[in-house]
Amino acid sequence: MDEYSLEMLTAIQAAIKASALCQKIREDLVGGESILKKDRSPVTIADYGSQAIICKMVRERFPNDTIVAEEDSKELRRPNHSNILEQVTHYVRAFSPNASSKEVCSWIDFSSNSVSDRFWALDPIDGTKGFLRGDQYAIALALIEEGVVTLGVLACPDLYVDIRQPSGERGVLFIALKGKGSAQLDRHGLNKRNISVSKVKNPSGAIITESVEPDHADHLTHQRLAQKLNISKPSLRMDSQAKYGILARGEVTLYLRVPSPSEPGYKENIWDHAAGAIIAEEAGGRVTDILGRPLDFSCGVKMVKNHGILVSNGMLHDVVLKALEM
Ligand code: AMP
Ligand code: MG
Protein backbone atom coordinates (compact mmCIF):
# COMPACT_ATOMS: atom_id res chain seq x y z
CA MET A 1 0.00 0.00 0.00
CA ASP A 2 1.13 3.55 -0.69
CA GLU A 3 2.10 5.78 2.15
CA TYR A 4 -1.02 7.40 3.67
CA SER A 5 -3.45 5.23 1.72
CA LEU A 6 -5.15 3.98 4.91
CA GLU A 7 -5.29 7.50 6.31
CA MET A 8 -6.82 8.78 3.07
CA LEU A 9 -9.32 5.94 2.82
CA THR A 10 -10.38 6.44 6.43
CA ALA A 11 -10.76 10.20 6.05
CA ILE A 12 -12.80 9.82 2.86
CA GLN A 13 -15.08 7.13 4.31
CA ALA A 14 -15.62 9.14 7.49
CA ALA A 15 -16.35 12.36 5.58
CA ILE A 16 -18.83 10.59 3.29
CA LYS A 17 -20.77 9.24 6.28
CA ALA A 18 -20.68 12.56 8.12
CA SER A 19 -21.92 14.36 4.99
CA ALA A 20 -24.84 11.99 4.63
CA LEU A 21 -25.72 12.48 8.30
CA CYS A 22 -25.61 16.27 8.01
CA GLN A 23 -27.66 16.34 4.81
CA LYS A 24 -30.28 14.06 6.36
CA ILE A 25 -30.54 16.27 9.46
CA ARG A 26 -30.82 19.36 7.30
CA GLU A 27 -33.57 17.73 5.24
CA ASP A 28 -35.48 16.57 8.31
CA LEU A 29 -35.04 19.50 10.67
CA VAL A 30 -34.11 22.75 9.00
CA GLY A 31 -37.24 24.49 7.78
CA GLY A 32 -37.54 28.25 7.18
CA GLU A 33 -39.59 28.28 10.35
CA SER A 34 -36.89 26.85 12.61
CA ILE A 35 -34.47 29.53 11.45
CA LEU A 36 -37.03 32.22 12.18
CA LYS A 37 -37.34 30.84 15.69
CA LYS A 38 -33.55 31.00 15.95
CA ASP A 39 -33.55 27.31 16.76
CA ARG A 40 -29.97 26.16 16.42
CA SER A 41 -30.69 22.61 17.53
CA PRO A 42 -30.40 21.06 14.03
CA VAL A 43 -26.83 22.29 13.68
CA THR A 44 -26.05 21.17 17.22
CA ILE A 45 -27.33 17.68 16.47
CA ALA A 46 -25.43 17.52 13.19
CA ASP A 47 -22.24 18.88 14.77
CA TYR A 48 -22.18 16.22 17.49
CA GLY A 49 -23.28 13.45 15.14
CA SER A 50 -20.63 14.27 12.55
CA GLN A 51 -17.91 14.43 15.20
CA ALA A 52 -19.02 11.11 16.78
CA ILE A 53 -18.88 9.26 13.44
CA ILE A 54 -15.54 10.69 12.34
CA CYS A 55 -13.78 10.33 15.72
CA LYS A 56 -14.95 6.72 16.00
CA MET A 57 -13.56 5.78 12.59
CA VAL A 58 -10.26 7.61 12.99
CA ARG A 59 -9.72 6.17 16.49
CA GLU A 60 -10.51 2.60 15.36
CA ARG A 61 -7.94 2.71 12.57
CA PHE A 62 -5.35 4.94 14.27
CA PRO A 63 -5.62 4.36 18.03
CA ASN A 64 -2.41 6.27 18.79
CA ASP A 65 -3.32 9.46 16.94
CA THR A 66 -4.62 12.56 18.69
CA ILE A 67 -7.79 14.16 17.36
CA VAL A 68 -8.38 17.87 17.92
CA ALA A 69 -12.00 18.66 17.17
CA GLU A 70 -14.39 21.48 17.92
CA GLU A 71 -16.87 19.76 20.27
CA ASP A 72 -16.93 17.80 23.51
CA SER A 73 -19.90 16.05 25.12
CA LYS A 74 -20.03 18.02 28.39
CA GLU A 75 -23.14 20.01 27.48
CA LEU A 76 -24.71 17.08 25.68
CA ARG A 77 -24.56 14.91 28.82
CA ARG A 78 -26.60 17.38 30.89
CA PRO A 79 -30.08 16.06 31.75
CA ASN A 80 -31.77 19.11 30.19
CA HIS A 81 -30.19 18.16 26.84
CA SER A 82 -31.37 14.56 26.87
CA ASN A 83 -33.68 15.20 23.89
CA ILE A 84 -30.74 16.50 21.84
CA LEU A 85 -28.62 13.46 22.81
CA GLU A 86 -31.47 11.17 21.84
CA GLN A 87 -31.63 12.78 18.40
CA VAL A 88 -27.86 12.67 17.91
CA THR A 89 -27.91 8.96 18.77
CA HIS A 90 -30.84 8.36 16.42
CA TYR A 91 -28.98 9.88 13.45
CA VAL A 92 -25.67 8.16 14.30
CA ARG A 93 -27.46 4.79 14.34
CA ALA A 94 -27.99 5.04 10.59
CA PHE A 95 -24.23 4.34 10.39
CA SER A 96 -23.59 2.40 13.62
CA PRO A 97 -26.89 0.61 14.26
CA ASN A 98 -26.13 -0.51 17.81
CA ALA A 99 -24.72 2.76 19.10
CA SER A 100 -25.88 3.77 22.57
CA SER A 101 -26.05 7.39 23.76
CA LYS A 102 -23.19 6.66 26.13
CA GLU A 103 -21.03 5.38 23.30
CA VAL A 104 -21.88 8.37 21.13
CA CYS A 105 -20.67 10.70 23.92
CA SER A 106 -17.51 8.67 24.37
CA TRP A 107 -16.74 8.86 20.61
CA ILE A 108 -17.21 12.64 20.66
CA ASP A 109 -14.79 12.76 23.60
CA PHE A 110 -11.99 11.04 21.68
CA SER A 111 -11.22 14.66 20.86
CA SER A 112 -8.46 16.36 22.79
CA ASN A 113 -7.84 20.09 23.09
CA SER A 114 -4.10 19.96 22.72
CA VAL A 115 -2.05 19.26 19.63
CA SER A 116 0.75 16.67 19.37
CA ASP A 117 3.43 15.55 16.88
CA ARG A 118 0.85 13.75 14.80
CA PHE A 119 -2.79 14.75 15.10
CA TRP A 120 -6.02 15.11 13.16
CA ALA A 121 -7.81 18.47 13.11
CA LEU A 122 -11.57 18.17 12.64
CA ASP A 123 -14.34 20.66 12.08
CA PRO A 124 -17.46 18.46 12.15
CA ILE A 125 -19.51 21.27 10.57
CA ASP A 126 -17.73 24.32 9.27
CA GLY A 127 -20.05 27.15 8.28
CA THR A 128 -22.86 26.46 10.74
CA LYS A 129 -24.66 29.64 9.64
CA GLY A 130 -24.60 28.40 6.05
CA PHE A 131 -25.94 25.04 7.21
CA LEU A 132 -28.93 26.74 8.84
CA ARG A 133 -29.48 29.20 5.99
CA GLY A 134 -29.57 26.41 3.41
CA ASP A 135 -26.26 27.58 1.91
CA GLN A 136 -22.78 26.05 1.86
CA TYR A 137 -21.14 24.23 4.75
CA ALA A 138 -18.30 21.72 4.99
CA ILE A 139 -16.84 18.88 7.01
CA ALA A 140 -13.10 19.37 7.31
CA LEU A 141 -10.54 16.78 8.36
CA ALA A 142 -6.77 17.16 8.15
CA LEU A 143 -3.74 15.22 9.34
CA ILE A 144 -0.97 17.39 10.78
CA GLU A 145 2.53 16.04 11.43
CA GLU A 146 5.28 18.10 13.04
CA GLY A 147 3.18 21.19 12.34
CA VAL A 148 2.80 20.39 8.62
CA VAL A 149 -0.52 19.45 7.05
CA THR A 150 0.11 16.19 5.20
CA LEU A 151 -3.46 15.21 4.23
CA GLY A 152 -6.73 17.04 3.86
CA VAL A 153 -10.28 15.96 3.11
CA LEU A 154 -12.99 18.55 2.75
CA ALA A 155 -16.56 17.44 2.20
CA CYS A 156 -18.94 20.04 0.78
CA PRO A 157 -22.25 18.15 0.78
CA ASP A 158 -24.23 20.85 -1.00
CA LEU A 159 -21.66 22.21 -3.46
CA TYR A 160 -22.29 21.78 -7.19
CA VAL A 161 -20.03 19.17 -8.77
CA ASP A 162 -19.60 21.15 -11.97
CA ILE A 163 -19.73 24.95 -12.25
CA ARG A 164 -21.12 24.59 -15.78
CA GLN A 165 -24.17 22.93 -14.24
CA PRO A 166 -24.75 24.87 -11.02
CA SER A 167 -28.17 23.33 -10.54
CA GLY A 168 -26.95 19.83 -11.43
CA GLU A 169 -25.50 17.17 -9.15
CA ARG A 170 -24.38 18.29 -5.68
CA GLY A 171 -21.96 16.97 -3.08
CA VAL A 172 -18.20 17.13 -3.49
CA LEU A 173 -15.18 15.79 -1.63
CA PHE A 174 -11.92 17.65 -2.10
CA ILE A 175 -8.82 15.66 -1.18
CA ALA A 176 -5.10 16.41 -1.07
CA LEU A 177 -1.90 14.67 -0.02
CA LYS A 178 1.35 16.55 0.55
CA GLY A 179 3.35 16.52 -2.67
CA LYS A 180 0.70 14.54 -4.57
CA GLY A 181 -1.74 17.20 -5.80
CA SER A 182 -5.42 17.79 -5.16
CA ALA A 183 -8.48 16.09 -6.55
CA GLN A 184 -12.23 16.19 -6.41
CA LEU A 185 -14.52 13.19 -5.89
CA ASP A 186 -18.30 13.02 -6.00
CA ARG A 187 -20.31 12.43 -2.84
CA HIS A 188 -19.93 8.66 -3.17
CA GLY A 189 -16.15 8.99 -3.36
CA LEU A 190 -16.17 8.21 -7.11
CA ASN A 191 -15.39 10.03 -10.37
CA LYS A 192 -12.05 11.38 -9.25
CA ARG A 193 -10.65 14.29 -11.19
CA ASN A 194 -7.49 16.27 -10.53
CA ILE A 195 -8.01 19.95 -9.89
CA SER A 196 -5.83 23.03 -10.23
CA VAL A 197 -6.04 26.75 -9.56
CA SER A 198 -6.85 29.38 -12.18
CA LYS A 199 -4.11 30.73 -14.41
CA VAL A 200 -5.18 34.37 -14.10
CA LYS A 201 -2.02 36.52 -14.18
CA ASN A 202 -3.47 40.00 -14.19
CA PRO A 203 -5.11 41.03 -10.89
CA SER A 204 -7.88 42.81 -12.79
CA GLY A 205 -9.10 39.42 -13.98
CA ALA A 206 -9.31 37.98 -10.48
CA ILE A 207 -12.42 36.93 -8.60
CA ILE A 208 -12.42 37.26 -4.82
CA THR A 209 -14.25 34.92 -2.48
CA GLU A 210 -15.02 35.91 1.11
CA SER A 211 -17.25 34.97 4.05
CA VAL A 212 -20.95 35.65 3.96
CA GLU A 213 -20.91 36.76 7.59
CA PRO A 214 -19.68 40.34 8.09
CA ASP A 215 -18.48 39.37 11.57
CA HIS A 216 -16.02 36.86 10.10
CA ALA A 217 -14.20 39.16 7.67
CA ASP A 218 -13.76 42.81 6.78
CA HIS A 219 -15.85 43.17 3.62
CA LEU A 220 -15.11 46.88 3.30
CA THR A 221 -11.34 46.38 3.30
CA HIS A 222 -11.77 43.57 0.75
CA GLN A 223 -13.77 45.95 -1.44
CA ARG A 224 -11.10 48.64 -1.21
CA LEU A 225 -8.45 46.12 -2.14
CA ALA A 226 -10.50 45.05 -5.16
CA GLN A 227 -10.72 48.68 -6.30
CA LYS A 228 -7.00 49.16 -5.85
CA LEU A 229 -6.28 46.09 -8.00
CA ASN A 230 -8.90 47.07 -10.61
CA ILE A 231 -10.89 43.94 -9.94
CA SER A 232 -14.25 44.51 -11.58
CA LYS A 233 -15.97 41.17 -11.09
CA PRO A 234 -18.17 41.03 -7.97
CA SER A 235 -16.90 39.07 -4.96
CA LEU A 236 -18.38 35.67 -4.36
CA ARG A 237 -19.59 35.26 -0.78
CA MET A 238 -19.69 31.71 0.47
CA ASP A 239 -19.76 30.06 3.89
CA SER A 240 -17.21 27.55 5.13
CA GLN A 241 -13.99 26.12 3.68
CA ALA A 242 -15.89 25.45 0.46
CA LYS A 243 -14.11 28.72 -0.47
CA TYR A 244 -10.79 26.84 -0.53
CA GLY A 245 -12.38 24.16 -2.70
CA ILE A 246 -13.69 26.53 -5.37
CA LEU A 247 -10.34 28.31 -5.43
CA ALA A 248 -8.50 25.00 -5.79
CA ARG A 249 -10.61 24.05 -8.80
CA GLY A 250 -10.05 27.42 -10.45
CA GLU A 251 -13.46 29.08 -10.10
CA VAL A 252 -12.15 31.99 -8.03
CA THR A 253 -8.66 33.44 -7.75
CA LEU A 254 -8.39 34.94 -4.28
CA TYR A 255 -9.80 34.08 -0.87
CA LEU A 256 -9.50 37.08 1.45
CA ARG A 257 -10.06 36.97 5.19
CA VAL A 258 -9.01 40.25 6.74
CA PRO A 259 -10.20 40.21 10.38
CA SER A 260 -13.57 41.91 10.81
CA PRO A 261 -13.69 45.29 12.59
CA SER A 262 -16.10 43.61 15.02
CA GLU A 263 -13.18 41.46 16.28
CA PRO A 264 -9.90 42.87 14.91
CA GLY A 265 -7.66 40.67 17.07
CA TYR A 266 -9.45 37.42 16.12
CA LYS A 267 -7.21 34.34 15.98
CA GLU A 268 -8.26 31.62 13.56
CA ASN A 269 -8.90 27.99 14.63
CA ILE A 270 -6.69 25.30 13.09
CA TRP A 271 -9.69 23.19 12.01
CA ASP A 272 -11.08 26.14 10.03
CA HIS A 273 -8.06 26.15 7.70
CA ALA A 274 -5.90 23.00 7.81
CA ALA A 275 -7.83 20.87 5.30
CA GLY A 276 -8.64 23.79 3.01
CA ALA A 277 -5.06 25.05 3.01
CA ILE A 278 -3.48 21.80 1.77
CA ILE A 279 -6.17 21.43 -0.88
CA ALA A 280 -5.48 24.94 -2.21
CA GLU A 281 -1.69 24.49 -2.05
CA GLU A 282 -1.61 21.10 -3.71
CA ALA A 283 -3.79 22.52 -6.49
CA GLY A 284 -1.04 25.07 -7.16
CA GLY A 285 -2.22 27.86 -4.87
CA ARG A 286 -0.48 29.72 -2.08
CA VAL A 287 -1.74 30.18 1.47
CA THR A 288 -0.40 32.66 4.05
CA ASP A 289 -1.77 35.12 6.56
CA ILE A 290 -2.37 38.70 5.41
CA LEU A 291 1.19 39.63 6.34
CA GLY A 292 2.62 36.89 4.12
CA ARG A 293 3.57 34.49 6.92
CA PRO A 294 3.00 30.77 6.47
CA LEU A 295 0.12 29.38 8.53
CA ASP A 296 1.40 27.85 11.77
CA PHE A 297 -0.66 24.83 12.82
CA SER A 298 1.65 23.83 15.67
CA CYS A 299 0.67 26.32 18.41
CA GLY A 300 -2.55 24.73 19.62
CA VAL A 301 -6.18 25.14 18.73
CA LYS A 302 -5.74 28.82 17.85
CA MET A 303 -3.33 30.03 15.17
CA VAL A 304 -1.82 32.60 17.49
CA LYS A 305 1.11 33.40 15.21
CA ASN A 306 -1.06 34.42 12.27
CA HIS A 307 -3.36 37.29 11.44
CA GLY A 308 -6.10 36.88 8.84
CA ILE A 309 -5.77 34.63 5.78
CA LEU A 310 -4.83 35.13 2.15
CA VAL A 311 -5.23 32.35 -0.39
CA SER A 312 -4.37 32.87 -4.05
CA ASN A 313 -3.64 31.04 -7.26
CA GLY A 314 0.05 31.63 -6.46
CA MET A 315 0.77 34.03 -9.29
CA LEU A 316 -1.19 36.88 -7.71
CA HIS A 317 -0.03 36.35 -4.14
CA ASP A 318 2.74 38.92 -3.87
CA VAL A 319 0.83 41.65 -5.61
CA VAL A 320 -2.11 41.17 -3.23
CA LEU A 321 0.17 41.12 -0.17
CA LYS A 322 1.65 44.40 -1.37
CA ALA A 323 -1.80 45.91 -1.89
CA LEU A 324 -2.82 44.77 1.62
CA GLU A 325 -0.10 46.99 3.07
CA MET A 326 -2.33 50.01 2.31
P1 AMP B 1 -16.88 31.34 7.23
O2 AMP B 1 -17.97 30.40 6.91
O3 AMP B 1 -15.76 31.35 6.25
O4 AMP B 1 -17.39 32.72 7.53
O5 AMP B 1 -16.15 30.81 8.53
C6 AMP B 1 -16.82 30.12 9.53
C7 AMP B 1 -15.88 30.05 10.70
O8 AMP B 1 -15.59 31.37 11.16
C9 AMP B 1 -16.44 29.35 11.91
O10 AMP B 1 -16.05 28.01 11.89
C11 AMP B 1 -15.82 30.08 13.08
O12 AMP B 1 -14.88 29.28 13.77
C13 AMP B 1 -15.09 31.24 12.46
N14 AMP B 1 -15.26 32.52 13.16
C15 AMP B 1 -16.00 32.79 14.25
N16 AMP B 1 -15.85 34.09 14.63
C17 AMP B 1 -14.98 34.64 13.77
C18 AMP B 1 -14.39 35.95 13.63
N19 AMP B 1 -14.69 36.94 14.46
N20 AMP B 1 -13.52 36.14 12.63
C21 AMP B 1 -13.21 35.16 11.77
N22 AMP B 1 -13.72 33.90 11.85
C23 AMP B 1 -14.60 33.65 12.83
MG1 MG C 1 -15.53 26.12 11.46
State pLDDT tens for residues 13-45: 999 999 999 999 999 988 766 555 567 898 999
| DSSP alpha helix (H) spans, the chain | 5-29, 32-36, 41-61, 82-92, 101-108, 128-133, 219-228, 242-248, 274-282, 317-324
Q: How high is the pLDDT of residue 1?
A: 64
Nearest residue (by CA) to ligand 1, atom 10, is 126
Q: Report which bound ligand comes closest to the CA of 269.
A: 1
Overall average pLDDT of the 161-190 stretch: 96
Which of 213, 218, 236, 240 gets mutated to test ligand 1 (max ligand atoms within 8 A of its CB)? 213
Ligand 1 within 6 A of CB of 213: yes
> How many angstroms is it from 230 CA to the middle of ligand 2?
31
What's phi and psi for 243, nearest 5 deg?
Answer: -60, -40
Q: How high is the pLDDT of residue 31?
A: 72
> How many angstroms is it from 124 CA to the middle of ligand 2?
8
Which pTM value belongs to this model?
0.97
Overall average pLDDT of the 180-206 stretch: 97
- Do 131 and 49 form a contact (C-beta atoms < 8 A)? no
> How many angstroms is it from 239 CA to the middle of ligand 2?
10
Q: How high is the pLDDT of residue 169?
A: 95
Nearest residue (by CA) to ligand 1, atom 8, is 216
Chain centre distance of CA 86: 27
CA–CA distance, 153 with 125 (Å, rounded to integer)? 13
Q: How high is the pLDDT of residue 316?
A: 98
What's phi and psi for 26, nearest 5 deg?
Answer: -65, -40
CA angle, residues 320, 322, 326, in degrees to nearest 5: 105
CA–CA distance, 193 with 255 (Å, rounded to integer)? 22
Mean pLDDT of the chain: 96
pLDDT tens across 204-232, in order? 999 999 999 999 999 999 999 999 999 99
Overall average pLDDT of the 90-116 stretch: 97
**Exposure string for 258-278, b = 16+ CB within 10 A, e = fewer:** bbbeeeeebebbbbbbbbbbb
pLDDT tens across 237-295, in order? 999 999 999 999 999 999 999 999 999 999 999 999 999 999 999 999 999 999 999 99
Which of 135, 216, 268 gets mutated to test ligand 1 (max ligand atoms within 8 A of its CB)? 216
Which of 272, 273, 301 gets mutated to test ligand 1 (max ligand atoms within 8 A of its CB)? 272
Q: Known catalytic residues? A: 47, 128
Q: How high is the pLDDT of residue 30?
A: 81
- Do 253 and 247 form a contact (C-beta atoms < 8 A)? yes
Sign of CA dihedral 290, 311, 22, 64: negative
Nearest residue (by CA) to ligand 1, atom 20, is 216
